[in-house]
Amino acid sequence: MAADREKPMPEAEVTAWLKDNLPKWRLEDGWIRRTYKTAGWKGTLMVINTIGHLAEAAWHHPDITASYAWVEVRLMTHTAKGITPKDFELAKKIEEVIDWQPGKEGKGLEGTPQGDMRFAYIKYD
């Protein structure tokens, strides 16, 4: 918990940072946002729980909206009433974990089977 109130970053700086570092995220209505598409309710719940774990561990809590096959996460530093480096750090960690595809690493973990809806999970961009 910060003793001093953080200062929000200028909109142009936020947009440029996202473009360079997290291009699937966007700045909209004062929040940085990302929508993750899932294959259904099971994947949606897993994404929500993953984001929840990361947010609680970081002590920086997003707003989350979800439906059957998608999850939108929104980050803003409420005490600053805008975007701060905290938001970028949590967004990077969320992106890293949610977008992890072990089958592409070739290190022994095969990843979720593709093409069989019984095992469908996240729809990777």
Domain total of the chain: 1
Domain-located, residue 116: no
Any idea what DSSP says for residue 104? G
Query: Per residue of the chain (125 residues), what is the pLDDT tens digit?
Result: 444 678 999 999 999 999 999 999 999 999 999 999 999 999 999 999 999 999 999 999 999 999 999 999 999 999 999 999 999 999 999 999 999 988 888 888 988 887 888 888 888 88
Residue type at position 60: H
Rounded to 5 degrees, what are φ and ψ at 65? -125, 140
**77 bridge partner residues:** 82
Instruction: Assess contact for 36 and 73: CB atoms under 8 A.
Output: yes
Residue type at position 13: E
pLDDT number for residue 1:
47
Residue by residue, DSSP assigns 9-69 as: PPHHHHHHHHHHH-TT-EEETTEEEEEEEBSSHHHHHHHHHHHHHHHHHHT---EEEEETT
- CA neighbor of 70 nearest in space, from 40, 33, 104: 40
pLDDT number for residue 49:
98
pLDDT number for residue 4:
63
Domain that holds residue 45: 30-99
Domain-located, residue 48: yes
Domain-located, residue 25: no
Residue 60, domain CATH:
3.30.1360.20
Residue type at position 37: K
Q: Rg of the chain over CA atoms, in angstroms?
A: 16
